[in-house]
Amino acid sequence: MSLNVAQGSRFARILSVGSAIPSRVVDNEEMCTYIESSDEWIQQRTGIAERRWIGEGEDLESLSLAAARIAIERAGIEASSIDTVILSTVSHFDQTPGLAPKLAAKLGATDAAAYDISAACAGFCYGIGQADALIRAGAATNVLVIGAETLSEMINLEDRSTAFLFADGAGAVVVGPSETNGISPVVWGSDGDQFEAIAQAEPWPDAVASGNKGVLTMQGQAVFRWATGFIADAAKRTLDAAGVTVDQLDAFIPHQANDRITNAMLRSLKLPEKVVVARTIKNFGNNSAASIPLAMDALLASGEAKSGDTALIIGFGAGLVYAGQVITLP
């Protein structure tokens, strides 16, 4: 017997973006009260001048909801017409249930399929890849993709090799059907041989028993080498898969891991001067899955990029995992 097959929209695109940043500003001066370092060293090695951490009354859920509400409003659709909610995060501290079903219910996306994905700093682009495929396959119509983190809860303030880097925030997009294509084929992959390059210092049960949430450790130089070599090449492959040359790009929105990594990618890609480059790490730090949608929203809000522009996005991080696409900005 041949069963019915779902028919999706031929194309998908990002309809809207929203973001939320926590209220607490932690500048490098404050950071240097926790670790032996200097504003000059942190800025020179990472480009970070200050980062945002959650303050009173803020958490992963509140940031996610705030970003999602803005994205839904800007999409001009009812929350009830969102049929899939994908939350990418590594800082939801319950193994089960996922946070996405709760977000869906609070947003009014009744009966939406809802699940969390754990793909660290590549998580937002993993989510876009899934949303695009679900819509074209007929498994979804309007997909809310949220990248949100509260990494401040996973920072070891005694570790001067990581404490200055990680931060909190949330970004969200609505992906929906389109007459023209706004999301190129995803280029993604993993290198599990380097699973210890960015990882929790101890298994979750041990961390909980010792009263923390599993602080992050990082082999900084290994990550740096991988990002400036393999990932820079993956960015080129992403452009090739999209059929786009660097001259046709308007914006480059890489995961905000580290400004030196962004600079190395720029050199490798040979991006023309006219391409706008996201640099939100300066004020927001590295907030993992949130960094790309947050940077996208910031570039649009500042007028540096505009709706309809062509942008290369690429996320990479713990796993190690990566994913990239060329998109049309909402």
Ligand X SMILES: CC(C)(COP(=O)(O)OP(=O)(O)OC[C@H]1O[C@@H](n2cnc3c(N)ncnc32)[C@H](O)[C@@H]1OP(=O)(O)O)[C@@H](O)C(=O)NCCC(=O)NCCS
- Residues belonging to the active site: 121, 255, 286
Does position 241 bind ligand X by CB under 6 A? no
Looking at the Cβ atoms of 178 and 190, the one nearer to ligand X is 190
As measured in angstroms, the least distance from the Cβ of 13 to ligand X is: 27
Q: How far apart are CA 238 and CA 183, in angstroms?
A: 11
Site for ligand X in 74-113 (CB under 6 A): none
Element (H, E) at 135: helix 123-137
Does position 324 bind ligand X by CB under 6 A? no
Q: Which residue among 25, 35, 49, 201 contacts ligand X (CB under 6 A)?
A: 35
Does position 217 bind ligand X by CB under 6 A? no
Q: Which residue's structure tokens are 């401040």?
A: 152
Q: In what order do the strands lie in the sheet with 143-150?
A: 11-20, 168-178, 143-150, 84-88, 113-117
The interface region with ligand X, picked from 144-152, 182-190, 235-243, 252-260 by CB under 6 A, is 252-260
Whether the bond between 320 and the residue before it is cis, its omega within 30 degrees of 0, is yes
Does position 143 bind ligand X by CB under 6 A? no
As measured in angstroms, the least distance from the Cβ of 11 to ligand X is: 31
- Class of residue 105 by CB neighbours under 10 A (exposed 0-12, middle 13-18, buried 19+): middle
Does position 234 bind ligand X by CB under 6 A? no
Q: How far apart are CA 305 and CA 250, in angstroms?
A: 7
Looking at the Cβ atoms of 71 and 284, the one nearer to ligand X is 284
Tally Cβ neighbours within 10 Å of residue 74: 18
Residues interacting with ligand X, by CB under 6 A? Answer: 35, 37, 41, 45-46, 121, 160-161, 164, 218, 220-221, 223-224, 257-258, 260-261, 286, 317
